[in-house]
Structure 1
Amino acid sequence: MCEITIQVSCPYCHSMKVVKNGVKVTGKQNFLCRACGKQFQHTYERTGCRPQVKQLVLGMLVRNSGIRDIEQVTGVHRQTVLKWLNQKAESLQVSPRLKAYTTVQLDEAWTFVKESKKRKRWLFYAYAPETGEVLAWSWGNRSQHTVRRLYKQLEHLKIACFCTDDWPAFTKVLPPERHLVGKAYTKNIEGVNLCLRTRNRRIVRKTACFSKKERNHYNAMKLIFYYRNHHTL
């Protein structure tokens, strides 16, 4: 008679410090990781319950995969994918690493919600080339009101210079003594725009990919910004 020993590792932190922690109502053995404190099962009946699958879904969300594409590849229902998207994005906090920056570049990107491109949602955001991070952003129309909301998020920082293109809304809001205007000063953020478009098809002008709800739209971009700043979710 031979005895087979199965060694269980934590699917979250991969630690081997795992102990039994009761039984689920389904009769499945429950485990507890003493390293990270999370509970899990060795096997799951539903695909969406597996921690590895959820991490895969989140990774695909920041790698230009559509909701239905993710559903097709992973087997997780699209409504669950959207639920995870919103839960994760709303649990994250994007905040500047420093208190002072030499240069901050501002730019805008055109997006839309639902299938009608008349429902425009302009994205204005601030980028710091010296740290490579997105500092803040605001949604709205292409007016000074949206720029002002963005600027208010930056007022607590010491920023030596703001760089933008010649869109009039920037000139009306930013302090003139610290404002440089011209494409020559926004090369870095233009490169970021390209990167964002390759990571999220919602901000590509000629696209068939869009969000049906504003909450999904805004949280999808928040997830991209957080991932760009921290390289992890």
Structure 2
Amino acid sequence: MCEITIQVNCPYCQSMKVVKNGVKRTGRQNSLCRGCGKQFQYVYQKAGCRPEVKRLVLRMLVRNSGIRDIEKVTGVHRQTVFRWLNQKAGSLQVSPRLEAYTSVQIDEVWTFVGQRKKRKRWLFYAYATETEEVLAWSWGNRNQRTVARLYKQLQALEIGRFCTDDWPAFGKVLPVEKHLVGKTYTRNIEGVNLCLRTRNRRIVRKTACFSKKEQNHYNAIKLICYYRNHHTL
């Protein structure tokens, strides 16, 4: 008689130190990982309970998939997708890798929340070409105050020069001796703008996609910036 043995690995830490840990009310076997201490089931009834599905949902969020598209493909309810989005974004911290940068480019893109496109939300952000990372960003109106909030986040860094277009608010906030103005100096960040619009439908200029809540909107952008910097979630 042939006996088939199935090796169960922990879906969280991939440890093989897995033992049985009682039975759920559904009658399904529950398992416990001795490595990380987390419990799991070998087979889940609901898609939202599977760790690999959660990782798939997060990858789809940063690859231009809409909430309802994700719900349709994965079988996870859209409210669960929103909850995962906000939980993941809340746990992430985008911080510069270096203490000094030769050149930083600054630009802005507009988005909107809800169906009123006249109420734009402007995203100002700083991009370092030498490390290809988003250093910091600021939300608000397209005015000097929003630029000042962004510059305050960059003051802890040693930056050789700031490259922007000729929008007047940049010249009023950034130090004159380090400020370079002209589209010639912002070609890299213009490419990042295109990437952001490609990765998130909310930033596309002509789109029917939008966020109903500002928290979901901001966290979706934060998730994309983190993914761009680290290429993993």
1:57-103 alpha-carbon deviations (Å, 9 max, x no partner): 00000000000110111111111111110110011000011111110
The gaps in structure 2 that reach 5 residues or longer are none
SS for the counterpart of 2:115 is coil
Look up the equivalent residue of 1:200 and give its one-letter code.
Answer: N
Matched, 1:163 2:163: yes
- Distance in 1 (CA, whole Å) between partners of 2:23 and 2:168 is 63
SS for the counterpart of 1:106 is strand
> Superposition pairs for residues 104-123 of structure 1, below 5 Å?
104-123=104-123
Look up the equivalent residue of 2:133 and give its one-letter code.
Answer: E
TM-score by length of 1: 0.95
> Superposition pairs for residues 76-225 of structure 1, below 5 Å?
76-225=76-225
- Distance in 2 (CA, whole Å) between partners of 1:30 and 1:162 is 56
- Distance in 2 (CA, whole Å) between partners of 1:21 and 1:133 is 44
Residue matched to 1:33: 33
State the Cα distance separating 1:34 from its structure 2 match.
3.8
State the Cα distance separating 1:150 from its structure 2 match.
0.6
Look up the equivalent residue of 2:181 and give its one-letter code.
Answer: V
Residue matched to 1:53: 53
- Distance in 2 (CA, whole Å) between partners of 1:132 and 1:33 is 38
Of 201-210 and 27-36, deviating more is 27-36
State the Cα distance separating 1:39 from its structure 2 match.
2.6
SS for the counterpart of 1:153 is helix
1:125-184 alpha-carbon deviations (Å, 9 max, x no partner): 000000010000011000011001111111111111100001111111000111000000
Matched, 1:17 2:17: yes
1:3-36 alpha-carbon deviations (Å, 9 max, x no partner): 3322111223333332333444444333233444
Change (3 A) 1:162 1:14: same
Number of residue pairs matched by the alignment: 233
- Distance in 1 (CA, whole Å) between partners of 2:171 and 2:2 is 78
State the Cα distance separating 1:40 from its structure 2 match.
1.6
SS for the counterpart of 2:138 is strand
Look up the equivalent residue of 2:72 and give its one-letter code.
Answer: Q
State the Cα distance separating 1:119 from its structure 2 match.
1.7
How much identity, in percent, do the aligned residues show? Answer: 82
Residue matched to 1:8: 8
State the Cα distance separating 1:41 from its structure 2 match.
1.2
State the Cα distance separating 1:201 from its structure 2 match.
0.9
Ranges of 4+ aligned residues in structure 1 off by more than 2 Å: 1-4, 12-39
> Superposition pairs for residues 67-78 of structure 1, below 5 Å?
67-78=67-78
- Distance in 2 (CA, whole Å) between partners of 1:203 and 1:170 is 22
1:175-195 alpha-carbon deviations (Å, 9 max, x no partner): 011100000000110111111
Measured on the aligned residues, the alpha-carbon RMSD in Å equals: 1.4
